[in-house]
Amino acid sequence: LAAELVAMLNNRRVARSKQQWLDEEQQQAWIALVHLMIRLPAVLDAQLRRDAEMSHFEYQILAALSMAPGRSMRMSDLATITEGSLARLSQASGRLERRGWLRRTPDPDDGRCTLAILSDAGETKVHDAAPGHVHAVREIVFASLSRTQIRQLTTTAHRVLETIERLDDAGSSPM
Amino acid sequence: LAAELVAMLNNRRVARSKQQWLDEEQQQAWIALVHLMIRLPAVLDAQLRRDAEMSHFEYQILAALSMAPGRSMRMSDLATITEGSLARLSQASGRLERRGWLRRTPDPDDGRCTLAILSDAGETKVHDAAPGHVHAVREIVFASLSRTQIRQLTTTAHRVLETIERLDDAGSSPM
DNA sequence: CAAGATTGATCAGTCAATCTTG
DNA sequence: CAAGATTGACTGATCAATCTTG
């Protein structure tokens, strides 16, 4: 495909802009990683929107709740494990609530907290959506990787995530 | 941190929802990869917004143009290498044009195409933004990885991207 | 009519208040 | 007053037309 060739040529050209600071292998890795970070979430989001009429973020919310004891969780904990802000979660929960998949109620133990509770309809929905989503993940990510590669990927991802956490902590309290 | 512990515990719980289909190692890899796909783009976007008042997508546009011959490129080619839709690129270009970093003109060779051209101000802007951005990439991604890990990451990313392309092509023309 | 590009409407995400409870 | 949560205003992305040129 002509578009593909153009893309490859241009990517090399883009890469050159970092030649002073990144070596050849790092450039290649960076280009591949940027493309992966853009394409993989997009393709998984598209799969869920097409097959289950929900975003990946909404799926994460419902999946987390369906595994939680009592199918419920505090909003702030939900936000942590879905890696989203509380504001984003609050907006998304409103949508899910309107669709009848979730309801919210103040936490009896601590009035400041809100409990998100998965409804029966929501449970059914995740249950129906899960097989197709997991199949897509298997097909796209794991089917083409060896066990060794999967282990290496995990290690590498953790290494980078730890660095992000470390820098985040340092940044939020510079003293 | 309490939040961290909650996150780890809950992540294990989420993982269990895929036990029927993904093995233990795949679950761990998937959780790590999802977190990486969420956090890494977010942190790089934040760096550019903070230090250069632009999004990562806008940076990609300006960086690609600054490396292109004549500092110009067709919109459709730009869209391909930035992995964005033409509509998104068009909107973003409007913003960049309003800020004086870019101008657009019909392609003299083919009136259907539009050429995006980087202005002097735009060139200066990328030039100023690049060192900080590359430093962040080095610090976050490459400083914590060995040369071997970097090579493995490239291979793995390409493997997954090839799978995505393959499935995309199959999906768009099922016959 | 197909391909490149743009636009307007709509939808989701972010940010800065705001409100409430302990 | 700090932490959990929500809301409204704004910004950015997506989708479905639409327009133009070859």
pLDDT of the residue at A175: 42
CA dihedral defined by A66, A71, A77, A80, rounded to 10 degrees?
10
Share of chain B above pLDDT 90, in %: 81
Q: To which residue do tokens 């199959």 refer?
A: B170
pLDDT band at residue B163 using 50, 70 and 90 as cut-offs: very high
Whether B81 sits with its Cβ under 7 A from any strand C atom: the answer reads no
In sequence order, the β-bridge partners of residue A114 are A106
A10 contacts in chain B (CB < 8 Å)? 64, 67-68, 73, 77, 80-81
A to B CB pairs, distance under 8 Å: 222
Q: Is the dihedral of CA A12, A16, A22, A24 positive or negative?
A: positive
A123–chain B nearest CA distance, Å: 12
For B61-95, write each residue's pLDDT tens digit: 999 999 999 999 999 999 999 999 999 999 999 99
pLDDT tens-place values along chain A, 175 residues long = 344 444 454 455 555 554 457 888 999 999 999 999 999 999 999 999 999 999 999 999 999 999 999 999 999 999 999 999 999 999 999 999 999 999 999 999 999 999 999 999 999 999 999 999 999 999 999 999 999 999 999 999 999 999 999 988 776 655 4
Output the distance from B110 CA to D18 C1' rounded to whole Å.
Answer: 20
Question: What's the start-to-end Cα distance of chain A, in Å?
Answer: 54
Best B4, B12, B40, B74 member to test A by mutation, with max A CBs in 10 Å, is B40
| Distance in Å from the first CA to the final CA of chain B | 54
Provide the pLDDT for residue A7: 47
Averaged pLDDT, B20-32 = 87
CB pair distance less than 8 Å for A149 and B155? yes
Annotate B63-117 with DSSP letters as a single string: HHHHHSGGGEEEHHHHHHHHT--HHHHHHHHHHHHHTTSEEEEE-TT-TT-EEEE
Q: How far is CA B96 from CA A15, B90, B116, B118, B122, in A?
A: 22, 10, 10, 10, 9
Supply φ then ψ for residue A100, to 5 degrees: 80, 15
Residue B82: CB less than 7 A from any atom in strand C: no
Task: Give the pLDDT of residue A169.
Answer: 75
Contact: B73, A41; criterion CB under 8 Å = no
Give pLDDT tens digits for B98-119: 999 999 999 999 999 999 999 9
Amino acid identity of residue B112, one-letter, is R
Pull the structure tokens for residue B48: 């550019």
Cα–Cα distance measured from residue A95 to residue B61, given in angstroms and rounded to the nearest whole number: 34
DSSP B9-21: HHHHHHHHTTTTT
Q: Tokens 């090399």 — which residue?
A: A12
Once rounded to an integer, what is the mean pLDDT over residues B121-145?
Answer: 96
Q: Which residues of A45-75 are buried (b: 16+ CB within 10 A; e: fewer)?
A: bebbeeebebbbbbbbbbbbbbbbeebbbbb
The minimal CB distance from A140 to the residues B126, B130, B164 is found for B164
List, in order, residues 6 or more apart from B128 with CB less than 8 Å away.
Answer: B52
pLDDT for res A148? 97
The token pair at A118 is 């998965």
pLDDT of res. B45: 96
Q: Is the C-beta atom of B105 closer than 7 angstroms to strand D?
A: no
Residues of A in contact with B83 (CB under 8 A): 35, 38-39
